[in-house]
Chain A
Amino acid sequence: MRRWRLRATVEVEESVASLGQAYAREVRWAQGFRVNIDSRLILLGIRRLLSCKIISDGELRAAAFVIGCRLGAMDSYESFDDGLAQGRDVPLAFAYALPSMPLACASICHSLRGVTYTVTGAGDAGIRAFSQAAALVESGAAGMVVTGCWESPSATAGEGNASCSLLLLVLEEEEVAGSDAYGADDYTGPPTMDEDAPTALTVQSSVAALKRFLARNSIAAPGASFHA
Chain B
Amino acid sequence: MRVFVTGLGAVSCLGEDIAAHRRAFREGRSGIRALAVFRPDLPTHAWGGAVESVPHDAAPRAPAFLGRAIGDAFRDAGLGQLDNTPVFLGSAHGNLDSWQRHRRGDGEARGLWDMQGDALADCIDGPRITMVSTACTASSVAAGLALALLKSGRTEVAVVAGVEILTPFLYRGFESLRSLAAENCQPFDRRRAGLTLGEGAAAIVLENASHARRRGAVPLAEFAGYGFAADATYLTAPDPTGTGAVRALKKALEQAGLRELPGFINTHGTGTRLNDHMECFALHRTFGADAGKIALTSTKPLTGHMCGAAGAMEFVSTVIGLEANSVPPILGFEEADADFTHLDFVSGSARSLSCCAAISMNSGFGGTNTAIVLHKGAP
A residues with a Cβ closer than 8 A to B are 70-72, 74, 77-78, 80-81, 84-85, 89-91, 94-101, 103-105, 107-108, 111-122, 125, 128, 131-132, 135-136, 138-139, 141, 156-157, 189, 192, 201
Q: Which residues of A contact B152 (CB under 8 A)?
A: 135, 138-139
Does B78 sit at the interface, judged by CB under 8 A? no
Contact of A114 among B112, B134, B229 (CB under 8 A): B229
With an 8 Å Cβ cutoff, the count of chain B residues facing the other chain is 54
Report the separation of the CA atoms of residues A136 and B148 in the bound assembly, to the nearest whole angstrom. Answer: 8
**Chain B, 264-304, CB within 8 A of any chain A CB:** none
Partner of B133, one of A77, A99, A108, A115: A99
8 A-B pairs within 8 Å (CB atoms) are namely A97-B93, A99-B113, A100-B366, A112-B232, A119-B130, A139-B151, A139-B152, A156-B103
Please indicate the chain B residues that have their CB under 8 angstroms from the CB of A128 in the complex. 130-131
Q: Given the complex of chains A and B, what is the CA–CA distance between A135 and B229 in angstroms?
A: 18
The winner among B103, B228, B231, B235 for most chain A CB atoms within 10 A is B235
Q: CB < 8 Å: which of B91, B112, B169 contacts A80? A: B169
Decide yes or no whether B230 CB sits under 8 A from chain A: yes
Residues in B whose Cβ lies below 8 Å from that of A85: 104
CB distance from A77 to the nearest CB of B (A): 8
CB neighbours (8 Å) of B133 from chain A are 72, 98-100, 118-120
Q: Residue-by-residue, is B122-136 near A (CB-CB < 8 Å gives 1, otherwise 0)? A: 000000111111110
Stretch among B54-62, B94-102, B203-211, B354-362 lining the A interface = B94-102
The answer to whether A108 and B176 have CB atoms under 8 Å apart is no
The answer on a CB contact under 8 Å between B148 and A89 is: no
Question: Are A116 and B103 in contact, CB atoms less than 8 angstroms apart?
Answer: no
Give, as a whole number of angstroms, the nearest-CB distance from A155 to chain B.
9
Q: In the complex, A137 Cα to B235 Cα: how many Å?
A: 28
From A74, A116, A135, residue with most partner B Cβ within 10 Å: A116
A122 to B91, CA, bound (A): 14
**Docked pose: A99 CA to B95 CA in angstroms:** 13
Given contacts A98-B365, A103-B366, A139-B148, 4 further A-B pairs with CB under 8 A are A95-B365, A98-B366, A105-B235, A136-B148
Please give the distance in Å from A138's CB to the nearest CB on chain B: 7
Name the B residues within 8 Å of A104 (CB-CB): 230, 235, 365-368
Does B114 lie at the interface of the complex (its beta carbon under 8 Å from any beta carbon of A)? yes
The CA of A104 and the CA of B94, in the complex, are separated in Å by 19
| A150, B365: Cα distance in complex, Å | 20
Q: What is the CA–CA distance of A84 and B168 in the complex, to the nearest angstrom?
A: 9
A113 to B368 alpha-carbon distance, docked (Å) = 9
A206 to B33, CA, bound (A): 41
Select B149's contact among A97, A98, A105, A135, beta carbons within 8 Å: A135
B residues in contact (CB < 8 Å) with A: 91-94, 99-100, 102-104, 109, 111-114, 116, 128-135, 141, 145, 148-149, 151-152, 154, 168-169, 172-177, 228-236, 244, 247, 364-368
Closest 6 CB pairs of A and B: A104-B366, A94-B173, A89-B176, A120-B113, A91-B176, A99-B133
B131 touches A120 (CB 8 A): yes
Cβ contact within 8 Å between A97 and B111: no
Separation of A223 and B332 alpha carbons in the complex (Å): 59
B368 cross-chain contacts in A, Cβ below 8 A: 100, 104, 116
Contact A132 B244 (CB under 8 A): no
Closest CB in chain A relative to B136 CB, distance in Å:
10
Q: Are B232 and A113 in contact (CB under 8 A)?
A: yes
Complex Cα–Cα for A139 and B99 (A):
37
A100 CB contact (under 8 Å) in B104, B135, B154: B135
- Provide the bound-state CA to CA distance between A107 and B244, in Å: 12
Across-interface contacts of B149 in A (CB, < 8 A): 135
Q: State in angstroms the CA–CA spacing of A118 and B172 once bound together.
A: 24
Given contacts A122-B114, A139-B152, contact A84 B172 (CB under 8 A): yes
Q: Give, as a whole number of angstroms, the nearest-CB distance from A207 to chain B.
A: 16
Task: List the B residue with the shortest CB-CB distance to A136.
Answer: B148
Do B135 and A98 touch (CB < 8 A)?
A: yes
Closest residue of chain B to A91, judged by CB? B176
B113 and A116 form a contact (CB under 8 A):
no
A157 to B295, CA, bound (A): 48
Query: Distance in Å from the Cβ of A140 to the closest Cβ of chain B?
Result: 9
Q: Chain B nearest CB: distance from A49 CB in Å? A: 18
Known A-B contacts A100-B134, A135-B152, A139-B148; A122 and B366 likewise in contact (beta carbons under 8 Å):
no
Whether B366 lies near A101 (C-beta < 8 A) is yes
A155 CA / B327 CA spacing, docked (Å): 48
CA–CA, A41 to B173, complex, Å? Answer: 24
Task: Please name all residues of chain A whose beta carbon is closer than 8 Å to the beta carbon of B103 when the two chains form the complex.
Answer: 78, 81, 156
